[in-house]
Structure 1
Amino acid sequence: MAPPPPAAGDAAAAADQDGKGRRHRRRRPDCAGAGARLLSLGVQAAVMAAALALFLLFAAAAAILLLHLVVAARAFRNQRHGGAGRSRYRVPETSYTPSRAGLSPADLRFLPCFAASASSSPELCAVCLEAACAGERWRALPACGHAFHAACVDRWLARAAACPVCRAAVSASVS
């Protein structure tokens, strides 16, 4: 059965009914769209705030890591160069203190020299770690008797007036 035709005054009511006679509520397009847009803007703002917070968190972590690396590099550099920030875990100094830095070239000439001979047990120079060859010039230190290549021990004695092996003080005796 078909619904009865609407009366003349019921034009608005007829517009709210579908073909089967049921009434529908009419929505205002202005209100429904504004709420959805407002919700969408709120979600976008929340996502942007979260992204900005994550960026700032990672930036702060990177800054702290960089600061740590700079401080560690400075401490390492000061330790290597013997600056004011020396390590408290350094090796204790020995009781050996030479009277002066080294021997002069004139003092080195007074130290005894000898030519190495071919023997069954060749000596080893403790400075350069090479064995003695026949005819090489060697120098024996008078205080301890240790012997070395003359060129090797002369360079050593120019820097420190002590035996490279036992640290016995070396002095040139004029005879």
Structure 2
Amino acid sequence: MAALAPAGAAVPDELAPGPGREANKHGRAGAVRRHRQCAGARLLSLAVQAAVMAAALAIFVLFAAASALLLLVLVLTARAFHHHRGSRYRVPSLDPSSPSPPPLRTGLSPADIRLLPSFAFPGGGDEAADSASCAVCLQAARAGERWRAMPACTHAFHAACVDRWLARTPACPVCRTAVAVTTS
């Protein structure tokens, strides 16, 4: 066994650890060979990195091209659909041979609504009054409230509720029977 050298003493080259020992043992040729192997490993590492980066870039470009193509198809489809449907704000044609758009459906005029029969809801504690409610606002009927009855179907509602309804749609809110105003 070799004796331990005191601290600070020189260690012979045969016992020295590390690359210096190999270089001393094989000489200058070993160091050159090891340097060439490191350069080859570095070159291979750079080539692998370049290949990975090129593959990532190719995937990104492919994804961007597919996205752009999909966006183009969606835009062209939307434009074709919009062109086919036409504009909502088109000026009606005065040409009698062209089909005219259907007239906008409007409700009754305020004068027509005033001509419909109305009545004060009857007071008292009868059971029919307690169970009655307005089908438009869903509020229970109270004695003395102003109600309006539809002439054709006799459905009755709060006058204020059904008046707003009839201004938009000339039909009963419950059964959709057309409301005809009779002038007498």
Code of the aligned partner of 2:181: A
The aligned counterpart of 2:93 is none
The aligned counterpart of 1:135 is 144
- CA separation of 1:160 and 1:51: change in aligned 2, threshold 3 A: same
Query: What is the rounded CA distance, in whole Å, between the counterparts of 2:64 and 2:161 in structure 1?
Result: 53
Moved over 2 A (4+): 23-26, 28-32, 47-69
Query: What is the rounded CA distance, in whole Å, between the counterparts of 1:60 and 1:120 in structure 2?
Result: 76
Structure 2: which 5+ residue stretches go unaligned? 1-24, 78-84, 87-102
User: Which segment is superposed worse, 113-122 or 142-151?
Assistant: 113-122
* 3-state DSSP of counterpart to 2:160: helix
Code of the aligned partner of 2:164: R
* RMSD of aligned residue pairs (Cα, Å): 3.8
Deviation at 1:51, TM superposition (A): 5.1
Query: What is the rounded CA distance, in whole Å, between the counterparts of 1:123 and 1:54 in structure 2?
Result: 73
Q: Deviations over 1:114-155 (max 9, x none)?
A: 111233123111111111111110000001111011011000
* 3-state DSSP of counterpart to 2:37: helix
- CA separation of 1:54 and 1:99: change in aligned 2, threshold 3 A: closer
The number of residues matched between the two structures is 131
Deviation at 1:36, TM superposition (A): 1.7
Percent identity (aligned): 50
The aligned counterpart of 2:117 is 112
Query: What is the rounded CA distance, in whole Å, between the counterparts of 2:143 and 2:68 in structure 1?
Result: 61
Structure 1: which 5+ residue stretches go unaligned? 1-22, 76-82, 85-97
The aligned counterpart of 1:41 is 43
Residue from 136, 159, 168 that aligns with 1:159: 168
Q: Deviations over 1:140-175 (max 9, x none)?
A: 000111101101100000001011111100021111
Deviation at 1:32, TM superposition (A): 3.4
The aligned counterpart of 1:88 is none
Q: Deviations over 1:57-80 (max 9, x none)?
A: 4786699689989x99xx9xxxxx
User: Which segment is superposed worse, 147-156 or 55-64?
Assistant: 55-64
Query: What is the rounded CA distance, in whole Å, between the counterparts of 1:66 and 1:149 in structure 2?
Result: 58
User: Which segment is superposed worse, 34-43 or 147-156?
Assistant: 34-43
Deviation at 1:38, TM superposition (A): 2.5
Query: What is the rounded CA distance, in whole Å, between the counterparts of 2:31 and 2:47 in structure 1?
Result: 24
